[in-house]
Amino acid sequence: MVKSRSRSKEIMIISGNRSNFRFVTDLLITLFFWVYTVIVIIFILSATTGFSNVVTRTLNTTFKTTNSEVQAVILFGFIVFIVIYLLLFINRLYNKKRFGKLTRRTYPEVVTQRELIALQLMSVKNIKKLESNYVIFEKNPIISLEEEKKHEESD
């Protein structure tokens, strides 16, 4: 049985001061873009459903298109959506069937000090130094990129 801790309603959102002028400007320009967007939506939906109106007639004339061409594009988009959805569904079925029941690995062991040293990125002395709660390094404790490259090449 699962139970959850009720989520605390943290109010993290910052409200800053914004001038009325900026707010109105933002609003007006956004509304302008919405007018454009609404025209787009009306045109495509009307053309797709075969419902001719001033918008579809004007835009079809401008673009030299017909409603049936718009319908064809929308149908193509819908088919692409369905195909992708089906491909994802098949991919999921395949993965479930092929790998679903397999536990191919055991959980990895935790990292040991030896493994950290084996990385050759930091000296043992500096690793020890990092065990304290407050530490200052005047020089970067990690080896330089040039040295790291040399190690990689020698490995």
Partner 1 sequence: MAGSIFFLRTKENNQSDIDIDGFDWPMISILVPCYNEEDTIKETIENLSGLSYPKKEIILINDGSTDLTASLLEELSTKHTEVRVIQLEQNRGKANALQVGLFAAKAEYLVCVDADALLADTAPYYMIHQFFVSGERVGAVTGSPSIRNRNTLLSRMQLVEYASIIGAIKRTQRLLGKVMTVSGVVVTFRKKALVDVGLWDRDMITEDIAVSWKLQKRFWDVRYEPRAICWMLVPETLSGIWQQRIRWAQGGQEVVLRHWRILFSWKQRRLWLIFLEQCVSTIWALSWLFITLVLIFSANAFQDLLLWLTLTSFFLVFISMIQLFISLVIDSRQNGVMKYYFWAAWYPAIYWMVNTLVVVVALPRAIKSRYKGGYAVWSSPDRGLKKS
- Please give the residue ranges that form the binding site for partner 1 (CB under 8 A): 1-5, 7-8, 10, 12-18, 22, 26, 30, 33-34, 36-37, 40-41, 43-44, 59, 63, 65, 73, 77, 81, 84-85, 88-89, 91-92, 95, 103-111, 115-116, 119, 121-122, 126-127, 130-131, 133-142, 145, 148
Least separation in angstroms between residue 66's CB and partner 1 is 11
Smallest distance, Å, CB 99 to partner 1? 10
Output the smallest distance, CB 138 to partner 1, in A.
Answer: 5
Cβ-Cβ contacts under 8 Å for 136 (sequence gap 6 or more): none
CA 134 to chain centroid: 37
Distances (CA, A) of 118 to 14, 48, 122: 46, 64, 9
Annotate 33-63 with DSSP letters as a single string: HHHHHHHHHHHHHHHHHT---HHHHHHHHHH
Identify which of residues 54 and 111 has a Cβ nearer to partner 1 in the complex.
111
Q: How far is the CB of 153 from partner 1 (least distance, A)?
A: 14
Cα 61 to Cα 53: distance, rounded to the nearest angstrom: 12
